[in-house]
A = this chain, B = another copy of it.
């Protein structure tokens, strides 16, 4: 049955989500301060008052953009960490794969996330993003420490090892043009949807982290 109320409700959600989607693009491209509500309203083809009607303010829209993704961001790492059937190095490999997959799937959002890590202007948002990162750091650090305890890993710096993993991906994600230079591709190419690109990054990080972590038994 065609229920007009459901249709309307869906349209309404779509409109809100449409605004959020466009906002994500603009924030990623121009930054938070660089994006005006009028820009956003025009690109999303809605009235400028709708942003405040739906979200209350520009800053709250931004907060909701982050909050909406945060739940999903945390879930994977927690799932991997609590999976008892995986060895420590398998967990690390899963986390690397998960990070790259997630970041490549939502490059726009990730750039917004990085901006907020970089700019301390909006203190509470900055703290929020920071605390999320710290949670992830703690999880991965405890995995590496367990590997060291089991004498499977070298006595490395666990915190900085995690930072190298995330830092590598972030550095790659910082600019589309940079990715295309890496892939020797043309400027209009979209590297984030290129499976070869994804494979290349995952293999590099895993290879490097393996060499860094795993104790080579002299035969």
A-side residues, CB < 8 A to B, are 29-34, 111, 114-115, 117-121, 126-127, 130, 133-134, 137, 154, 156-157, 159-161, 163-164, 166-172, 174-175, 177-178, 181-182, 200-201, 203-205, 207-208, 211-212, 216, 218-219
A59 to B: closest C-beta gap in Å? 12
Establish whether residues A171 and B163, one from each chain, have CB atoms under 8 Å apart when the complex forms: yes
Q: How many subunits of this chain does the assembly comprise?
A: 2
- Can you add 6 more A-B contacts, CB < 8 Å, to A117-B174, A170-B171? A30-B120, A31-B32, A34-B119, A115-B118, A164-B205, A211-B212
Assembled-state Cα–Cα distance A34/B181 (Å): 30
Contact for A121 among B30, B134, B177, CB less than 8 A: B30
Which 9 pairs across A and B sit closest by C-beta, in order of nearness? A167-B171, A33-B33, A167-B167, A160-B204, A211-B211, A33-B34, A164-B168, A167-B168, A208-B212
A113 to B: closest C-beta gap in Å? 10
**Interface majority SS on A: helix, strand, loop or mixed?**
helix
Closest B residue to A204 using CB positions? B160
Chain B residues with CB under 8 A of A200 = 157, 160
Assembled-state Cα–Cα distance A75/B137 (Å): 35
Establish whether residues A121 and B34, one from each chain, have CB atoms under 8 Å apart when the complex forms: yes
Contact for A204 among B34, B164, B205, CB less than 8 A: B164
Contact for A119 among B30, B120, B163, B172, CB less than 8 A: B30
Given contacts A160-B182, A164-B167, A201-B160, contact A118 B174 (CB under 8 A): yes
